[in-house]
């Protein structure tokens, strides 16, 4: 490494720190900021976002990038240079004024979205969404693309992903899912899902959430849990300050319980990055698809496994004696693994979840292409719901207003959720080969073997390997829908008494 490299990394670390400050501004806005703070907060967010962008795209960054050198066997420096170059080239194409405008519009729109969602008034959110679609189209044009503008946006979250490829993957996944869903729906065996909609007092749910995070080794010395409308995980201090949020619904136990496990999965990735590389690509996550593979693995492959509940169910039953006192472990296990098309993505079962993503992918891709107008989104949403899931939400709050993403200008992000499910199944399949007693350990509340495996194979590498490279390197194969289909087919065939 030469002097230019070190100077470049100083700049990049400051860029990463500014991004961390933005994360704090966002986290605070979602958790504790008083309602009156929206306007000045939008100004602060826009300012910091603009400064981060300027720092990245400055002429000096380009100059240092030309001069910087990494040793042939120094994969840390190589990773940092490769990813800094990628970020620089992308960001350089976007004017700082546009970046600031998006940050400002996002801070305002988030607030409008929350109100519109509460009041079920899509029309109050529509002008914000129109503005955001317009701004992101501009971004796509500045960044450039081969076939369609949506690709330019998706690239921010899942480097290298293309709409056409995602479309093919989702089509195959959708077809197999639909066929299996028909089998499940035809089965006379039905879990009693209503068990989970009994009364679960928040006073007990809070310690339960904490316990779930703790047992999966969330480090509270370097993190915390708060409450927000839309749960998320964020970091404003590398691996040392990782915060998750959850939401409590007294008539729906899974919201907070599995929501917390999900966000804990994200947090374990962040806390597993190496603090010494904080604020540089070598200390950052690979992509959102890989990030989501961590959250979905802990939420579903661990958290909805029978082994997990063999250990925990007795205690949870004691926490909610009125609702679970007469529910057996088997009934509970089947209830949390009910497959049933529903309106809300974050509450969807493991099988139909991907269909929610396909819907969002198709609608936002069409919005960015200009094939769907914002005003027509509610109708398009409901039509797709009927087509893919066979159900139609009674209102927009439970329909196209349910997710925060579009308000923040996040288009091209949703596909990473389904990719995460696929990556998760493929990684977990390999982990269960490498750790022969994996489920026995899970049944003993011992999550160190799996966490250690993830730390070793994924977390510690930061952005050393791109997603496609990582999955091949770890599992020996490129990404495929097969491990996911194998997992859901085996599991739900058992739950629904089907021949698998």
Kindly list the catalytic residues. Answer: 263
Residue 213 binds a copy of itself, judged by CB under 8 A: no
Residues 143-202 that bind a copy of itself (CB under 8 A): none
**Shortest separation between residue 61's beta carbon and a copy of itself, angstroms:** 16
| Residue choice 146, 179, 188, 221 for contact with a copy of itself (CB under 8 A) | 221
Residue from the set 17, 93, 142, 217 that interacts with a copy of itself by CB under 8 A = 17
How near is the Cβ of 32 to a copy of itself at its closest, in Å?
Answer: 6
- CB closer to a copy of itself out of 46 and 471: 46
Q: Which CB atom, from 221 or from 476, has the smaller least distance to a copy of itself?
A: 221
Distance of closest approach, residue 99 Cβ to a copy of itself, in angstroms: 15
CB closer to a copy of itself, 235 vs 358: 235
Q: How many CB atoms lie within 10 A of CB 128?
A: 22
Beta strands 233-235 and 242-246, pairing class? antiparallel
Taking residues 83 to 122 in sequence order and writing x for each that binds a copy of itself by CB under 8 A, - otherwise, the string is: ----------------------------------------
Joined together, the tokens standing for residue 167 give: 């479309």
Cβ pair 461, 470 in contact under 8 A: yes
4, 7, 11, 47: which one contacts a copy of itself (CB under 8 A)? Answer: 47
Of 498, 499, 500, give the one whose Cα is nearest residue 190. Answer: 498
Cβ at position 239, least distance to a copy of itself in Å: 8
Q: What angle do CA 305, 311, 317 make, to 5 degrees?
A: 95
- Smallest separation (angstroms) from a copy of itself to the CB of 278: 6
| Residue 241 contacts a copy of itself per CB under 8 A | yes
Beta carbon nearer to a copy of itself, 41 or 487: 41
One of 92, 183, 240, 382 touching a copy of itself (CB under 8 A): 240
The CA angle 164-170-172, to the nearest 5 degrees, is 105
Separation between Cα atoms, residue 424 and residue 305, nearest integer Å: 14
Choose one: 42-50, 367-375, 382-390, 466-474; the region binding a copy of itself (CB under 8 A).
42-50
Tokens of 485: 């289909």
44 near a copy of itself, rule: CB under 8 A: yes
Tell me: does residue 48 bind a copy of itself (CB under 8 A). Answer: yes
279 or 492: whose CB is closer to a copy of itself?
279
Report the residue from 9, 20, 103, 173 that binds a copy of itself according to the rule CB under 8 A. 20
How many beta carbons lie within 10 A of that of residue 277, not counting itself? 22
214 counts as binding a copy of itself under rule CB under 8 A: no
Choose between 17 and 93: whose C-beta lies nearer to a copy of itself.
17
87, 154, 429, 133: which is closest to 289 by C-alpha?
154
| Owner of token pair 């949703």 | 414
Out of 9, 12, 30, 41, the residue judged to bind a copy of itself by CB under 8 A: 41
* Calpha distance 446→6 (Å, rounded): 41
The residue among 18 and 385 lying less far from a copy of itself, judged by its C-beta, is 18
| Residue of the chain from 1, 7, 11, 37 that contacts a copy of itself (CB under 8 A) | 37
Q: Which residues pair with 254 in a beta bridge?
A: none
- When binding is defined by CB under 8 A, the residue of 6, 39, 115, 182 that contacts a copy of itself is 39
Q: How far is the CB of 238 from a copy of itself (least distance, A)?
A: 5
Pick the closer one to a copy of itself by CB: 243 or 334: 243
Which residue from 24, 70, 392, 451 is in contact with a copy of itself, where contact means CB under 8 A? 24
Among 13-21, 86-94, 358-366, 465-473, which window interacts with a copy of itself (CB under 8 A)? 13-21
**68 dihedral zone (left: phi>0; alpha: psi -120 to 50; beta):** beta
Please give the residues from 262 up to 281 whose contact with a copy of itself meets the rule CB under 8 A.
Answer: 278-279
Q: Closer CB to a copy of itself, residue 10 or residue 322?
A: 10
Question: Alpha-carbon distance 274 to 401, whole Å?
Answer: 37
The answer to whether 419 contacts a copy of itself (rule: CB under 8 A) is no
> Of 1, 7, 11, 28, which one interacts with a copy of itself (CB under 8 A)?
28
Closest Cα partner for 229 from 38, 28, 31? 31
Tokens of 396: 């927009």
Nearer to a copy of itself, 32 or 394 (CB): 32
206 near a copy of itself (CB under 8 A): no
Residues that bind a copy of itself (CB under 8 A): 13-14, 17-18, 20-21, 24-25, 28, 32-41, 43-44, 47-48, 51, 219-224, 226, 236-238, 240-241, 243, 278-279
């Amino acid at each position: 490494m030469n002097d230019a490299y070190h100077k470049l990394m100083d700049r990049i670390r400051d860029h990463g720190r500014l991004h961390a400050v933005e994360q704090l501004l966002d986290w605070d806005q979602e958790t504790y900021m008083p309602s009156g703070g929206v306007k000045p907060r939008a100004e602060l967010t826009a300012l910091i976002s603009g400064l981060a962008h300027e720092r990245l795209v400055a002429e000096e960054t380009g100059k240092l990038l030309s001069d910087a050198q990494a040793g042939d066997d120094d994969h840390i420096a190589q990773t940092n240079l490769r990813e800094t170059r990628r970020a620089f080239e992308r960001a350089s194409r976007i004017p700082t004024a546009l970046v600031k405008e998006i940050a400002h519009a996002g801070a305002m729109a988030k607030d409008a979205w929350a109100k519109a969602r509460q009041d079920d008034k899509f029309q109050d959110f529509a002008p914000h969404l129109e503005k955001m679609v317009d701004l992101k189209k501009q971004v796509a044009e500045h960044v450039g693309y081969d076939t369609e503008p949506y690709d330019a946006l998706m690239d921010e979250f899942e480097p290298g992903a293309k709409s056409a490829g995602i479309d093919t993957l989702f089509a195959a996944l959708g077809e197999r899912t639909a066929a299996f869903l028909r089998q499940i729906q035809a089965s006379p065996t039905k879990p009693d899902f209503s068990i989970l909609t009994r009364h679960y007092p928040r006073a007990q749910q809070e310690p339960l959430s904490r316990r779930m995070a703790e047992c999966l080794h969330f480090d509270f010395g370097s993190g915390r849990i708060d409450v927000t409308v839309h749960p998320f995980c964020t970091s404003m201090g590398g691996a040392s300050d990782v915060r998750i949020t959850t939401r409590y619904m007294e008539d729906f136990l899974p919201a907070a319980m599995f929501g917390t496990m999900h966000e804990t999965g994200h947090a374990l990735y962040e806390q597993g990055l190496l603090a010494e590389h904080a604020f540089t690509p070598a200390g950052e996550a690979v992509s959102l698809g890989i990030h989501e593979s961590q959250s979905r693995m802990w939420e579903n492959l661990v958290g909805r496994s029978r082994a997990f509940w063999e250990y925990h169910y007795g205690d949870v039953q004691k926490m909610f004696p009125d609702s679970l006192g007469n529910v057996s472990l088997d009934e509970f296990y089947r209830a949390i693994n009910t497959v049933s098309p529903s309106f809300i993505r974050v509450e969807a079962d493991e099988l139909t979840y991907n269909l929610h993503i396909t819907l969002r992918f198709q609608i936002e891709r069409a919005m960015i292409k200009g094939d769907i107008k914002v005003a027509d989104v509610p109708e398009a949403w409901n039509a797709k719901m009927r087509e893919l899931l066979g159900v139609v939400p009674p209102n927009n709050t439970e329909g196209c207003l349910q997710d925060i993403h579009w308000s923040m200008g996040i288009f091209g992000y949703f596909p990473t959720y389904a990719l995460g499910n696929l990556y998760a199944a493929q990684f977990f399949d390999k982990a269960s080969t490498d750790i022969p007693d994996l489920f026995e350990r899970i049944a003993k509340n011992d999550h160190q073997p799996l966490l250690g495996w993830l730390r070793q194979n994924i977390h510690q590498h930061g952005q050393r390997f791109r997603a496609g490279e990582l999955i091949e390197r770890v599992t020996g194969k490129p990404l495929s829908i097969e491990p996911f289909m194998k997992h859901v087919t085996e599991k739900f065939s058992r739950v629904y008494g089907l021949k698998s």
